[in-house]
Structure 1
Amino acid sequence: MKLVVVSAGLSVPSSTRLLADRLAAAVDRKVPADIQVVELRDLAVEIAHNFTNGFPGRSLAAALDAVTEADGLIAVTPVFSASYSGLFKSFFDVLDKDALAGKPVLIAATGGSARHSLVLDHALRPLFAHLRAVVVPTGVYAASEDWGAEGLPDRIERAAEELTALTRGLSTPHKEKKQPELTVVPFAEQLAALSASPGA
């Protein structure tokens, strides 16, 4: 399984990258994965240039190709102004519009307060629905107080399990079901049979 992790954390060390790494490790424990991490902080200049000249630089092009070719995607952003970061949105704006169609995606976010946890459903889920990705039911939000507390590890494991199940389901060829044979009876014959039946 080829798993790509997109992290939009800006600081070093970054709680966003920490959450991304924990999610990737949880997926890897369930199914061996070839994990590639895309740090958007390192691509910020190339993303800006892509908007102005229409062409990705070498590093950005490699990151876009990795996302396009991935079997599954983990996308993690810090919360800025009650939404995803501008850098996070900009990366997905320069991604080909069909790159995520049908692709399993696990969404996650970090923030200073639990009040921003709805960012998953109000901002990230609609974004990836627009890109026609298949978003796992469980999104993972980590506020500052969540680190080391109960609950976060369970959410990470549940989301990882859902992503794993989706990638397996979408990559496993479905067996062709044998269709039942149909018998076509002309209407005139049906009508004659009804007329001949008792009580008709």
Structure 2
Amino acid sequence: AAQRDGRTVETLNLDLRELLPELGAALASGHLGPKFTKAVEALKSSDGIIAAAPVYKAGARGLFTSFFQVLDNDLLIAKPVVLAATAGTARHALVVDGEMRSLFAFLRTMTTPTSVFASTEDWQDKALGKRIDRAARELVVLMESEVESKITDTSWDSYQHEFGSAGGNELGIDLGSDLMRLAAGGTLPGARR
């Protein structure tokens, strides 16, 4: 969509199969190996994401969901995302708007209104191309509006961040608060001893 309008688009394809050797350690310990770290940095620095997964037994493949479950919960806040999936039959069509959309809502991304699902019988259907174009236009609009930076610049501190996350709010602890004085063994001003 952007290229048709004369804009330059740079894409990077992350093949999650290449991260499989590092996934077990990431799930078990949170330790990210070098390939995993590179993939995380690519997502962090991207203007938008097309998250596409194969569907099997009414769910996105385990590799796809495991990858996103390992990510820092603050990494993708307000990041524009198109959701897409493929499957052998249309019986899996709700996976995109059910399972995948809820995962990306938890990660606080900005998913496009249009998602893309294609089963075997859709590949020759012109409607698939129209859905892809519409989702791409929506993604471009979200990216050009700079929605991610506008939201994070104005709202970052109001999100609940985990200790050690990309939110980095553990350094924003008010050590002079009454609660911190009590935690350090002190007393509240005016309290009886």
TM-score band, normalised by shorter chain: 0.7 to 0.9
Length-normalised TM-score, structure 2: 0.72
Q: Which has the higher strand share?
A: 1
Amino acid at match of 1:116: H
Please list, as runs of the form range in 1=range in 2, the aligned pairs for 1:80-119 lying within 5 A after superposition: 80-119=56-95
Query: 5+ residue gaps in structure 1?
Result: 1-25, 175-200
Aligned CA-pair RMSD: 1.8
Q: Are the aligned partners of 1:75 and 1:108 in contact in 2 as well (CA < 8 Å)? A: yes
Shift of 1:148: 1.9
Quote the Cα distance in structure 2 between the aligned partners of 1:170 and 1:153. 26
Shift of 1:41: 0.9
Judging changes above 3 Å, is the alpha-carbon distance between structure 1 residues 59 and 150 closer, same or farther for their aligned structure 2 residues?
same
Amino acid at match of 1:112: G
**Structure 2 SS opposite 1:44:** helix
Shift of 1:27: 5.0
Quote the Cα distance in structure 2 between the aligned partners of 1:143 and 1:168. 31
2:116 is aligned with 1:148 = no
Shift of 1:54: 2.5
Structure 2 residue corresponding to 1:45, chosen from 21, 27, 46 = 21
Structure 2 residue corresponding to 1:170, chosen from 133, 146, 159 = 146
2:98 is aligned with 1:122 = yes
Quote the Cα distance in structure 1 between the aligned partners of 2:143 and 2:149. 12
Q: Deviating runs (4+, > 3 A) in structure 1?
A: 26-31, 171-174
**Structure 1 SS opposite 2:14:** strand
Quote the Cα distance in structure 2 between the aligned partners of 1:105 and 1:119. 16
Shift of 1:81: 1.7
Query: 5+ residue gaps in structure 2?
Result: 151-193
Count of residues in correspondence between the two structures: 149
Quote the Cα distance in structure 2 between the aligned partners of 1:173 and 1:116. 34
Shift of 1:115: 1.6
Between Structure 1 and Structure 2, whose CA radius of gyration is higher? Answer: 1
Length-normalised TM-score, structure 1: 0.70
Choose between structure 1 and 2 for higher RCO, CA contacts under 8 A separated by at least 6 residues. Answer: 1
Amino acid at match of 1:64: V
Quote the Cα distance in structure 2 between the aligned partners of 1:164 and 1:76. 17
Identity %: 42
2:49 is aligned with 1:73 = yes
Shift of 1:172: 9.8
**Structure 2 SS opposite 1:36:** coil
Amino acid at match of 2:23: I
Quote the Cα distance in structure 2 between the aligned partners of 1:152 and 1:168. 24
